């Protein structure tokens, strides 16, 4: 039987990458703003700032959509029928013997 959809999508990795991109673009956007205030030819810095703003907006949107999908799939998965899995009480590799425990060498 295949795994549920919530187990097949690596939500933690996606959220981590998007959060890192958001944080880096936010920091670079602020740094560009500080540097461009003192510069005379701020055309290049303005273009770089726009790229950072776009990266920040897209990563924020991606974070929001990913978190909504994660919560939605978790809620849907909690309502699905749970199939009980058989439990192994004793493994075949377990070759300990009761006699060996009573009479240690």
Distance from C-alpha of 21 to C-alpha of 15, rounded to nearest angstrom: 10
The answer to whether position 29 is within a domain reads yes
CB of 64 within 8 A of CB of 51? Answer: no
The answer to whether position 53 is within a domain reads yes
The answer to whether position 72 is within a domain reads yes
Q: Which two tokens stand for residue 12?
A: 């933690």
Q: Has this prediction a pTM greater than 0.75?
A: no
The answer to whether position 74 is within a domain reads yes
The answer to whether position 51 is within a domain reads yes
pLDDT digits (tens, 9 = 90+) for 61-85: 999 999 999 899 888 877 776 666 6
The answer to whether position 1 is within a domain reads no
Distance from C-alpha of 20 to C-alpha of 41, rounded to nearest angstrom: 30
The answer to whether position 64 is within a domain reads yes
Q: Where are the alpha helices (DSSP H) in 39-104?
A: 43-79, 98-102
What are the 10-residue block averages of pLDDT along the chain, 105 residues in total?
A: 74 92 89 74 74 91 94 82 70 59 56
- By the 10 Å C-beta count (0-12 exposed, 13-18 middle, 19+ buried), 82 is classed as exposed
The answer to whether position 56 is within a domain reads yes
pLDDT at 91: 67
Q: Which structural domain range is residue 34 located in?
A: 10-80
Q: How many C-beta atoms lie closer than 10 Å to residue 28's C-beta?
A: 17
Count of domains forming the chain = 1
pLDDT at 65: 95
């Amino acid at each position: 039987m295949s795994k549920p959809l919530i187990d097949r999508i690596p939500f933690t990795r996606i959220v981590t990458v998007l959060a890192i991109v958001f944080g880096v673009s936010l920091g670079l956007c602020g740094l560009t703003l500080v540097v461009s205030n003192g510069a005379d030819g701020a055309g290049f810095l303005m273009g770089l700032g726009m790229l950072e703003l776009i990266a920040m907006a897209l990563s924020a949107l991606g974070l929001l959509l990913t978190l909504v999908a994660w919560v939605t799939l978790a809620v849907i998965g909690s309502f699905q029928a749970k199939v009980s899995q058989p439990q192994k009480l004793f493994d075949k590799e377990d070759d300990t013997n009761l006699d060996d425990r009573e009479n240690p060498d």
